[in-house]
Amino acid sequence: MIQRIQTVYLLLAEILIGVLFFVPFADISSQDGTLYFVALEGLGRIGTTTFELPDLHWLMMVFLVSNLTLLTRTILLYKNRKLQVKLALVSLGVCLLITGLIYVTASTGARHLSGHFSLTIYSVFPLISSILLGMAVRGIRKDEELIRSIDRIR
């Protein structure tokens, strides 16, 4: 059934990952007082639309798109619970990689500008998504155990 609580967890995790396409991950203040932000497009100055340092952002784009694809596929595999657990665990790993990549990108941008960075609230979305995926895996496993126990009773 698609109306299970783990489907809600998976959908919330997918929404949180999808939001990362549109928001900045970190703010950087350089030594001369100029404010920059780190988003999916790269390193941008606040108030302009020019971006620098696009190297790591293609990698982050690949991880975000693959994670969204994995989460969509995981939601639709409600009949194959074993594969659903495996895909959810892979997606959990990708979420942790995205978190690390956000930190590396922000620290690289700060080093490039000789400034310091501060992460925004959006940078913890992959961690929250990982927690939701863990809860979904636990729910899927409980469903699998329930189905096995019902089969034993018959």
pLDDT in tens, 30-84: 888 888 888 887 777 776 666 666 566 788 889 999 999 999 999 998 888 899 9
pTM of the model: 0.86
Give the per-residue pLDDT at 68: 94
Tell me the mean pLDDT in the region 121-149: 91
Does position 106 have pLDDT exceeding 80, yes or no?
Answer: yes
Least confident of 24-33, 81-90, 117-126: 24-33
Give the per-residue pLDDT at 69: 94
Tell me the mean pLDDT in the region 109-128: 89
Tell me the mean pLDDT in the region 111-135: 91
Does position 135 have pLDDT exceeding 90, yes or no?
Answer: yes
Tell me the mean pLDDT in the region 98-102: 91
Does position 132 have pLDDT exceeding 70, yes or no?
Answer: yes
Give the per-residue pLDDT at 33: 81
Contact 111, 28 (CB under 8 A): no
